[in-house]
Every structure is written in structure tokens, then in C-alpha cells.
Structure 1
Amino acid sequence: MEWRDEGVILSVRRHGETSAIAEILTAAHGRVMGLVRGGRSKQQRPVLQSGNAVQAVWRARLEEQLGTFTLEPLDLKAGAIMEEPFRLAGLATLTGLSQLLPEREPHPRVYEALRIVLDAIDHDELWPALLVRWELGLLDELGFGLDLSRCAATGSREQLAYVSPRSGKAVSAAAGAPFRDRLFRLPAFLSAEGGGATPPDIAEGLRLAAYFLHRHLFEPRGVSFPEQQDWIIRALAEKPH
């Protein structure tokens, strides 16, 4: 069997002397692995980098087999990102979290949002806030979405200021005030009323997403959350507000 699809390379590992196994998040076929013959050649190595967008042809005799990839470059972001530690941490977070998706299960919304973040990754004033939204979208796609549209206690859609770590629902300023030490702060740019995405708000959004990603996805699997996200949060703390 054979199919053609676009995708983003998530990881690459060597296979034998000359080949490699690539893990790719594709638009219509989900997260797929395949053998790239000659993947360690000088021609293929610049393409086989995490974060690069490629046109992939996957072939196998049977659907359940590993299969082989033939790859053509579409957008080679990795080379420029490697020179920028802040952006590299963002890329590593994106690719690491994408590996949580079930293999060979299409998630086109996650893929499309991933491409949006990668398209913006040259702009440090844009991509960190987009990363927060992508992580919350990943939670939603996997059945653990947060409800930030109304207050869990009153049903109000106004003056939402907190998020309950237990329910993942928003809480208004008035209802949450007595318990604010036990609640996450809801960043303004994630609220229904909207607002600017300042570095402190983005950092808080990353902490919020990380808490629920860890609880629902990492902890049950017994694995650690990507340390690059903590690096991004620390870097945001050093940026001017």
C-alpha cells in the first residue's frame, strides 16, 4: 500500500550504517514512523531534522508494517532554529508533546495548529502565546480540554480570573477570591474577554497547560514532562513586561 501526505518531522534515529527511522506527524495520517533509506547521507541529513516540514510518500506491503518513507522538503525551519536557544526550546517542546498522540490516528487540527506555531517561530513576540494555545488544544483533542468560557461556581462569563486545578474550569474573580492561593491565575489572553499576551501571562499559561498535561498524559505513563518548557518559562521571566 502507499499514501502521500505532508508532515512535520518529530524525531529521527539512526538505523544501520546508512539509513534512519523518521517519526512524522502528518496532516491526514497522524503520527507515523518509517524507514528512510540513505537517511544518513549528506543530501538527506539537512532534511531529516525535527521541525522540518516535508512531503512524504509512505509505502509498505501491509498496513501494520513499519514501511518506508520517501521525503521531499517543503519548509526547512530546523537549521535556523538550531542557532536560537529560545526557539529551539519551543521546537523541542512542540515535537516532544506531539509524540503523545496515538500512532496512526489522524489529528488534523493539532497538525494545522502545529504548522501555525512553526510558521511564527521566527517571531519571539508571537510563538510563545501560540504554543500555549496549541498545548491547550492538544489537551482538548485528547479528551482533557479545559473549560475557560464561564465560571464553574456562578456560570458567569464575566471577570474570569482563575482556573481550578481540580476541575480545569474557569472561576470568576469574586468566586475565586477566598481560594486564590489554591487556584491558577487565568491569563488575560486566554479569557473570553481577551487581552494582551505579556511574558508573565504567557509563562502562567505554560504552567497551566503543563499541570494538566502532566496530570492527564505524562503521570499515567510514568514519564517526565519536557524540561524545555521550564527553560521557556525562565526565559520569559527575563523578558521586559
Structure 2
Amino acid sequence: MMNLNGKVAVITGASSGIGAGIAQAFAQQHMNVVLGGRNEQRLKEVASNIQEETQVQVSTFVVDVTKNEEVNHLVEFAQKQFGKIDVLVNSAGQMLSSTVTDGDVEAWDTMLDVNVKGMLYGINAVLPKFLEQSSGHIINIASISGFEVTKQSTLYSMTKTAVHTLTQGLEKELAKTGVRATSISPGMVETSMTESTDWGGRKKLEPKDIAEAAIYALQQPAHVNVNEVTVRPV
């Protein structure tokens, strides 16, 4: 298993939910973390919780992933703070009105901008450095909705299908470079986005369950790329 001690991870969507859970789990593996998100107060709360429990270095950066320039600044900030970046976790996401028949164009635009373009901006920002150092790991948070479409999830599912396609293609583009790409597809996770959603009586996953999948992918030997992980509740 690869030792994660001292590695640096940049995590978007880190102010709550899966992103915050991943940040906390990474810190417990002695990784230094840069938390990116739009809500400065919540970012500080997550950072404070991490610092109370661990001895790692934690930095926060307010960022809107739909703006390419801001994402570039996030990555530049992390590079200046720590001198390197080893991992990017694209966790920022939006799940809004997703039926075509609703005609909610504003919601569609938001999901496309956050779930797809925001992810591309993050990848584009770190990739030159990862290729230069012949190492690095990109983790994209997808969803089982990218595999299974319901009549309420059309647009959201479309964006998560794009995440699968992006990660699979990226893995092929990055073959033999030392840079790895992983897509993690959670089932229903207990977050603010899903608190009003019924899951048929089954216990929802917790953010830490998704974090464990990310850690598993990171800990593999350098020649092993875990390209796709699906995590479902029992």
C-alpha cells in the first residue's frame, strides 16, 4: 500500500457532505488538505474540526468552481502553500430540478456548470503540474445516477454520465504518464442534498464511506489505477 503521509490534496465542495468527509478522512491518513468551496464559514468549521482531531496542515480557499479563473487561483494557492499537489478531488456538485419536462433551464445550466465544467476546470488546473512531476491522482465524484436514470433524474444523471465518460477517457489519455484518474459513484449518501429523499427504508451511506473508497484508490501501488469504484448501501 502507498503511504499517504505528507501528501497534499485539494478538495472542492469541501464545506459539507462528501467533500468534507473526504477531507476529514484524508487528514486522518496524515495528508495535508486544501479545502475549496463557496461558503467561507463552513469551510472554516470543517478546517477547525480537522485541526482539533489531527496534526496536519489545513488551508481553506473560497472558490466558485464554475469560474475557471477562480479554480486556477485555488490550485495556485495550494501550490504556494505546500510546494506541491498530489491529489485533486472534484467533489463539488449540484442536484437540482432534473426533468426535461419541467423546463427549468436555470437549474440545468447550474448543474452543467458545476458538475461538468467545474470538474474540467479543476483537472485543467492541476494537469500540467501532474504531468511535469509524472505523478498525481485525480478523483472525480460521480453517482450511480450516471448508470441508472429515473424520470426525476434526467439532467442530473446526464451530468454524472459525463463524469464517467470523462474519467474513462482521461485514464486512457494519461496512460504511461504516472498520473491516475478515478471515478467514484456513490449511491444515496446522507448529506444536505438528500435529507428529504426516501431510500426505501435502507440506511443511507455516510460521507466517510465514500472517503474510504477514495483512500483505497490512493493507496494502490503506483502502477495500479483504480479507474472506477461504485459504492452502494446494502
- Shorter-chain TM band: under 0.3
Q: Under a length normalisation based on structure 1, what TM-score does the superposition of the two structures give?
A: 0.24
- Structure having the larger proportion of residues in strand: 1
Q: Under a length normalisation based on structure 2, what TM-score does the superposition of the two structures give?
A: 0.25
Instruction: Mark the structure with the bigger radius of gyration.
Output: 1
